[in-house]
Chains A and B, each alone.
Chain A
Amino acid sequence: RKEVEQDPGPFNVPEGATVAFNCTYSNSASQSFFWYRQDCRKEPKLLMSVYSSGNEDGRFTAQLNRASQYISLLIRDSKLSDSATYLCATSGGYNKLIFGAGTRLAVHP
């Protein structure tokens, strides 16, 4: 079993839709969780950090469920510019991140 697993998608949604991604992790000792956004052939950019039960930033909400060992990312009112790959990551030691393979999102008009 991979340490961090994500549904690869793609998720194809219309503008304005709400979309949610889940990410499961296997290491119950993980303390820090992150969502990164990665555009095609670019570097991952930090979207949100999650240390406790959840975090919200505008249209984006991340939630952590330690009992079931998953984190989720909810995007409300999707924009065309939200089209990207969303990477989930957990901490695997000091400044070591363990990434999932990413979930692709395509927002269409």
Chain B
Amino acid sequence: DAGVTQSPTHLIKTRGQHVTLRCSPISGHKSVSWYQQVLGQGPQFIFQYYEKEERGRGNFPDRFSARQFPNYSSELNVNALLLGDSALYLCASSSAGARDTQYFGPGTRLTVL
């Protein structure tokens, strides 16, 4: 079975632009979480979606938004990009009752110039 997939793998944007990142969870997984990982730090939680509903939100500004589709795939949107948004954006999926065990996709590396 395929693992978590994310697209694109790399992205270069300029300040003020907006970006959309995509994630497809492991087949059968209904929960998707998004994390931001800046260099030298651990991943920071951004959002969690389950059955198309937002179930958790981290300490990120309103420029960050996300949604989950009926097929459980998800999009993360970031508006008005700042230099500090440069990071690896990771998507993780998990199955119901998995006691928080999450499996990560390869990530999208975003560079904001």
Contact = CB atoms under 8 A, between A and B. Distances in A.
Contacts of A46: 101-103
Contacts of B94: 95
A94 B99 CA distance: 8
Contacts of B74: none
B15 interface: no
Interface of B: 31, 33, 35, 40-45, 48, 50, 55-56, 58, 88, 90, 92, 94, 99-107, 109
Nearest to A6: B42
A29 to B, nearest CB: 13
Interface of A: 4, 31-32, 34, 36, 41-46, 49, 51, 87, 89, 91-102
A41 B106 CA distance: 9
B43 A95 contact: no
Contacts of A36: 104
Contacts, number: 74
A31 B100 CA distance: 9
Contact of A44 (B31, B33, B101, B104): B104
Contacts of A34: 100-101
B42 A100 contact: yes
Given A32-B99, A34-B101, A43-B90, A94 B48 contact: yes
Given A43-B106, A44-B43, A44-B90, A96 B56 contact: yes
